[in-house]
A and B are shown apart, each in its own frame.
Chain A
């Protein structure tokens, strides 16, 4: 078999198989308009649009790649791998010094401090300043309420996903307008380049 076949086979494996029965999430569409909604966690009460229950989408045709959590966090929240490593490093641990974290992750101490502050800016850690016994202050970083974090990261991701969906919809509309104005014509590369610049 050719390499092309192998690549195609790997691509097919590396796809999300949407399973509406999994209960992880549901996608509904309105039968009267183009409203499409994502529901995570519950469909009670059932989603409705135009005073009618929306229909559950069961068979998307488009090929969907599985998300990589590191890429998702980087794209949606600007949280790079180092920040994620720090988050994962401290889960379940007692107090750790910044030096210990740096040594464990093989990062510079200054990198750890920088990403701790990034995590504070993102709202994923809280920072307190305590008095040092010999004078001066000590920065302490502690996790926020886990339920609050769950809500904020989920809503934050939905905002990001909404923005992404708007971009896709905008591209679809522009594409439609272009094709209507240029019957039978191919969409030139310059079209996509202009979308990425916006």
Chain B
């Protein structure tokens, strides 16, 4: 999520791609996709129809908490 926050912005709706994230994290796109899906389930990332992705306001606020041990996001 740190990488996603670095390469996108919630306020300005700036997005990045899973390819860019995979390259910067030296992994494959399937792994990135799995992580992004998990973040999206927690409302921490948003994926657009064209495949671009960005961090959400919630995600940025979560990072601002500066806690190492995030556990559960309950969006009831």
Contacts and interface: CB of A to CB of B under 8 A. Distances in A.
B35 to A, nearest CB: 8
A143 B57 CA distance: 21
A133 B72 contact: no
Interface string B32-76: 000100110111101000000000111001100101011111111
A96 B38 CA distance: 7
B12 to A, nearest CB: 13
Given A138-B43, A142-B70, A95 B1 contact: yes
Contact of B74 (A93, A98, A126, A133): A98
A100 B42 CA distance: 9
Contacts of B44: 95
Contacts of B1: 94-95
B69 A133 contact: no
B22 interface: no
A142 B69 contact: yes
What class of interface size applies to chain A in its complex with B?
A: 20 to 34
A133 B10 CA distance: 9
A128 B71 CA distance: 11
A101 B72 contact: yes
A47 interface: no
A130 interface: yes
Contacts of A138: 43, 58, 73-75
A139 B65 CA distance: 13
A128 B65 CA distance: 9
Contacts of A130: 57-58, 61-62
Contact of B75 (A90, A98, A125): A98
Given A113-B76, A131-B61, 17 more contacts: A94-B1, A95-B38, A95-B42, A95-B44, A95-B62, A95-B71, A96-B71, A96-B73, A97-B41, A97-B73, A97-B75, A98-B73, A138-B75, A139-B73, A140-B73, A142-B67, A142-B69
Interface of B: 1, 10, 35, 38-39, 41-44, 46, 56-58, 61-62, 65, 67, 69-76
